[in-house]
Structure 1
Amino acid sequence: MQRQFSEVFSDLGITQTQLTTMILIAENPGTSQSDIGRTLQMDRATVMGIINRLEGRGLIVRGASATDKRRQTLEITEAGIGMLSVARERSAQLGTWLKERFSDAEFYMLAALLKRIHEVDIKAF
């Protein structure tokens, strides 16, 4: 699956974790690095590196929280929205590629098992 992701997304220059982070930011405007870290179960330094790379590419921006001056908020940019649009189309291709390898029953069993292991909502497929 990792190899297929790399092939499908190689020209976008984005990793699975960066893409997941962008989706979380887009779906939760004003979220923070700490929120992202908790959701992805990643340490602060790792999340900061991801955020720095995404911000450096102009895909997200940091802002000041209106309620807590110590907290930085994260927002998706127009460029980030464009990237997500392309990425969602490609994710659909990736989902189709995966589904083709299983019967319907096998696929739903795989999805249920992965959901149980990772506690992740995999309705996207």
Structure 2
Amino acid sequence: MLGKQDAGQPDNEYAFSEQIGYLLRRAYQKHLAIFQANASDPQLTSVQFATLCALKDRGPQSQGELVRSTAIDQATIRGIIARLQARSLVALGEDPSDARKVIVTITEEGRTVLDAMIPCARRISELTVERLNPAERLALMHTLRQIIGTDTLE
């Protein structure tokens, strides 16, 4: 077990604030607050940023491919794409080999927003882990990859 139980907490007590889900959620909430406070574009959310990064790094993709490359669920990615399209940061087109498939492409405006955001993203990552020493940072990244089941970044 994790948390206070190891420090002598009786088995029948459950401190939700010492559970992994709670701590991960709190860490993510802190990261999101840092993201919003330090983003170069106050309208850009972290999931929109991740979507733009995936499109820049992997090229035009279908919604299903974006779901896989960003780890954002299908219902959420639809809304993200709609908001990015409304801002002209992405464009939608037909797949030449399958007219039923919609392909999402980052636009020049999207690249401009993304290019301005990259230095901010580096700072956001730094601010998120600023209280950790280099060994703790390495251990955190390793542990998170272990939890999600991958030893390397995808």
Query: TM-score, normalising length from structure 1?
Result: 0.86
Alpha-carbon displacement from aligned partner over 1:37-76 (angstroms, at most 9, x marks no partner): 2332503x32111100000000000011111111111111
Q: Which amino acid aligns with 1:106?
A: E
* Residues in 2 aligned to 1:21 and 1:33: alpha-carbon distance in whole angstroms: 10
Residue identity (%): 27
Which of 114, 120, 130 matches 1:84?
A: 114
Q: Deviation at 1:21?
A: 0.9
Deviation string for 1:64-113 (max 9, x for gaps)? 11111111111111110011111111011112223431111111001111
Extract unaligned runs of 5+ from structure 2. 1-30
In structure 2, give the amino acid aligned to 1:90. C
- Given candidates 12, 34, 43, the residue that maps to 2:42 is 12
Q: Is the 8 A contact 2:94 2:102 kept in 1?
A: yes
Matches within 5 A, 1:21-32: 21-32=51-62
State yes or no: 1:51 paired with 2:60. no
| Partners of 2:142 and 2:107 in 1: CA distance | 34
Distance in 1 of aligned mates of 2:48 and 2:90: 11
TM-score, normalisation: structure 2: 0.71
Aligned residues: CA RMSD:
1.9
Larger RCO (CA under 8 A, 6+ residues apart): 1
